C-alpha cells in the first residue's frame, strides 16, 4: 500500500470513529440501578399498582388510573399554585425534562394539595404557563390526600409565613408511573433536569424493551 493510500485510509478511519463516537454519545443510555441512584432516581424493586381514584383535570374532565395508562411514562408532582419556592422550581425542571427528552406519550401533572384555592381555571393558567402540554389536577381534599399517601407524599395544614404567604409544607418528590398505572420510582433530592432526562430515556428503553438496566456505553455521571 502506498503512503498516499495509507494516509487516506487513516484519515477515513479517524472520521468514521469520530462520527461513531458522536452517535454513541447521543444515544439514550441504559443505566444500572446504582447509576440511576447517583442521578437522583430511586427505582422500586417491585412496582406497585395505584388503587382506584377519581379526580378532575383543569379542563373539568374526570381523571383516574385509566388516564395514566394512556402514556408510557407519567410524571406526578404534588404541589399548589401559590407555592412560593419548591413548586415553581419543580415545574421549571419538568419543563426542561420535556424539552430534553422530546418523546411522545410522556405526560406531566401537577396535583394540587390546595383544592380550595386552586380552581380548575387557576390550575390551568398556572401549569400551561410552564408548558401548554402540562395538566393540572384537582379534586376533593380527602381523595387527593389518599392518593398522596399511597404515593408516599404528605402535607401539613396551610399556614402563613412572615411574608403573609400561604404555605403548605409537603413532600417534595417527583413520582414516575408507567402505562400500567404502576409506581416505578421517584426522583428526590437535588433536581437536575439533565440527569433526570437521562434517567427518563433509560426508563423508556428498559421498561418497554429490555426490562433490565445494563451499561451499554461509557457514561459521565453528573453530581
The pLDDT, as a whole number, for residue 61 is 96
Q: pLDDT tens digits for 121-164?
A: 999 999 999 999 999 999 988 898 888 888 877 654 455 555 55
CA distance 213 to 35: 10
How many CB atoms lie under 10 A from the CB of residue 201? 19
CA distance 219 to 215: 8
The pLDDT, as a whole number, for residue 211 is 40
Q: Does the pLDDT value for residue 166 go beyond 90?
A: no
The pLDDT, as a whole number, for residue 22 is 42
Q: pLDDT tens digits for 36-50?
A: 777 778 887 778 788
The pLDDT, as a whole number, for residue 73 is 92
The pLDDT, as a whole number, for residue 75 is 95
43-188: CATH, from 3.40.30.10, 3.40.50.300, 3.40.140.10, 3.40.190.10:
3.40.30.10
Q: pLDDT tens digits for 54-67?
A: 999 999 999 999 99
Residue closest to 146 by CA, chosen among 17, 52, 9, 27: 52
- Determine contact, residues 177/43, Cβ cutoff 8 Å: no
Q: Does the pLDDT value for residue 13 go beyond 80?
A: no
CA distance 179 to 70: 6
- Determine contact, residues 143/55, Cβ cutoff 8 Å: yes
The pLDDT, as a whole number, for residue 208 is 65
By three-state DSSP, how is residue 54 classified? strand
More confident of the two residues 118 and 190: 118
**CA distance between the termini of the chain:** 49
Amino acid at each position: 500500500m502506498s503512503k498516499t493510500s495509507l494516509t487516506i485510509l487513516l484519515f477515513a478511519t479517524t472520521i468514521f470513529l469520530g462520527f461513531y463516537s458522536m452517535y454513541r454519545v447521543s444515544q439514550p443510555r441504559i443505566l444500572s440501578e446504582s447509576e440511576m441512584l447517583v442521578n437522583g432516581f430511586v427505582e422500586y424493586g417491585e412496582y406497585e399498582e395505584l388503587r382506584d381514584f377519581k379526580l378532575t383535570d383543569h379542563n373539568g374532565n374526570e381523571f383516574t388510573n385509566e388516564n395514566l395508562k394512556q402514556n408510557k411514562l407519567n410524571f406526578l408532582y404534588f404541589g399548589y399554585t401559590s407555592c412560593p419556592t419548591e413548586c415553581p422550581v419543580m415545574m421549571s425542571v419538568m419543563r426542561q425534562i420535556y424539552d430534553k427528552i422530546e418523546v411522545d406519550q410522556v405526560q406531566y401533572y401537577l396535583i394540587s394539595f390546595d383544592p380550595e384555592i386552586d380552581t380548575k381555571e387557576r390550575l390551568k393558567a398556572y401549569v400551561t404557563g410552564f408548558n401548554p402540554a402540562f395538566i393540572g389536577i384537582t379534586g376533593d381534599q380527602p381523595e387527593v390526600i389518599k392518593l398522596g399517601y399511597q404515593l408516599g407524599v404528605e402535607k401539613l395544614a396551610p399556614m402563613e409565613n412572615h411574608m403573609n404567604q400561604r404555605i403548605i409544607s409537603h413532600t417534595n418528590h417527583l413520582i414516575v408511573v408507567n402505562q400500567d398505572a404502576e409506581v416505578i420510582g421517584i426522583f428526590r433530592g437535588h433536581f437536575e433536569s439533565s440527569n433526570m432526562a437521562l434517567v427518563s430515556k433509560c426508563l423508556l428503553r428498559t421498561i418497554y424493551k429490555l426490562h433490565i438496566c445494563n451499561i451499554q456505553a461509557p457514561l459521565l455521571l453528573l453530581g
